[in-house]
Structure 1
Amino acid sequence: MPPLAPAAHSKCAGIVLAAGAGTRYGKPKALAENGAWLRSAITTLRDGGCDPVIVMLGATGPDPSALGLPDGTEWRWVADWATGLAATVRAGLRAATETGTRYVAFFPVDTPDVGADVVARVLAAARSNQSGLSRAVFHNTLGHPVVIENKHWEAISAVAAGDYGAGSYLGGRQDMVCVTCDDLATGTDRDFPGVGAR
């Protein structure tokens, strides 16, 4: 990868994973609560220190106009989203590469109780350790966001397949910093309507 400009030396692109069809939920989760989850994810990443924030779209179609994206939010259409999460992760890494940031933070649209304080904590951990890898942990369960330094992106893209995104690569890493965030959120994925609602 080309050398980073000094201004981008520690910048992090926030990637909202919102391309899926939400089969168990009954509709794409980007549309859940009239788009409230999507807008919350964007704000969470932005307020947590990510710039830019890029939404990965798939099942909702390539036109984001009906989603009410906040001003300044970038988006990408993942044409092969239906082949699995890996397609969206690879597209997110390409988008982050285009921005020239050093880090990327992956954040799914369906964890609405996770706030900016979690993102900031996990991002700080990645920036302060040599591996440049960190992720949130809630009650001993791996969660999101996952922050990854750019030196890992090419290898992740090479091994990601089907519904296995960055996990195919990260699962074998002993240098991943797991950041306990129990005091800040539950980190619960909302896979079914009405489950886990506050």
Structure 2
Amino acid sequence: MIPILILAAGQSSRMGTRDKMLEDVDGVPLLRRQVRMASAAGEPVYVALHQKADSRHDTIADLDVRILTVPQADEGMSGTMRGAVAQLPKAPAFMILLGDLVALETSDLKAVLDARATHPAHVIWRGTTQDGKPGHPIIFDASLRPDFADLSGDGGGESLVKQLHDRTHLVPLPGNRARLDLDTPEDWAAWRASKV
């Protein structure tokens, strides 16, 4: 069992009054799409949310997902990771992915999961763009779990990944799927226009 943790506790501050996790993607809210996509990888899915009783929660409440309430989300990405990883069950490793990566597919998650199985000497397995730019998802070996208790700032686990670059296995994924996130209404409009 490799728990899949979807980070969805951010405030979408660059979206104005809109919540990017509730933006429509293929007829469903983005967060719901992400949970379904991750669930299809065959591992248990956890979602980190800032507040349990908000519209994000309601969007996924009927799905097979465990919701983790993370008050530390006010501290940024590191606070969210610190609070959520502490709540994950014990497992040999865990996967983290950003909830707003609209192009990720189940096959991408499976590719990184497969890389962990075929390259066991590493402690981090990370998806990249087709041309090698680092992205998500990222699997962390359980031996790194205590390091998450010390994360601070909005950099998330990047400092840990940089520190262990020589023990990280990179997994190229198609196109820009490992990095494509949409942070502003203009980003969303451009992305939707490109799909027509």
Cα RMSD, aligned residues only = 2.0
5+ residue gaps, structure 2 = none
Whether 2:100 is the aligned partner of 1:110: answer: yes
Aligned-pair identity (%) = 19
Residues of 2 paired with 1:171 and 1:80: CA distance? 23
Residues of 1 paired with 2:148 and 2:178: CA distance? 27
Match of 1:120 in 2: 110
- Structure 2 length as normaliser, TM-score? 0.84
Greater CA drift, 40-49 or 65-74:
65-74
Whether 2:185 is the aligned partner of 1:188: answer: no
Residues 116-142 of structure 1: per-residue CA shift (max 9 Å, x gap): 000000111123321231111013221
Match of 2:32 among 31, 36, 39: 39
Match of 1:172 among 163, 171, 175: 163
Match of 1:16 in 2: 6
Residues of 1 paired with 2:41 and 2:179: CA distance? 15
Match of 1:56 among 43, 48, 57: 48
Residues 1:23 and 1:182: Cα distance change in structure 2 (over 3 Å)? same
Residues of 2 paired with 1:57 and 1:68: CA distance? 11
5+ residue gaps, structure 1 = 1-10
Deviation above 6 Å: which 4+ runs of structure 1?
none
Whether 2:68 is the aligned partner of 1:73: answer: no
Residues 1:29 and 1:95: Cα distance change in structure 2 (over 3 Å)? farther
Residues 77-104 of structure 1: per-residue CA shift (max 9 Å, x gap): 11121111111111221122xx222221
Residues of 2 paired with 1:137 and 1:126: CA distance? 14
Match of 2:143 in 1: 151
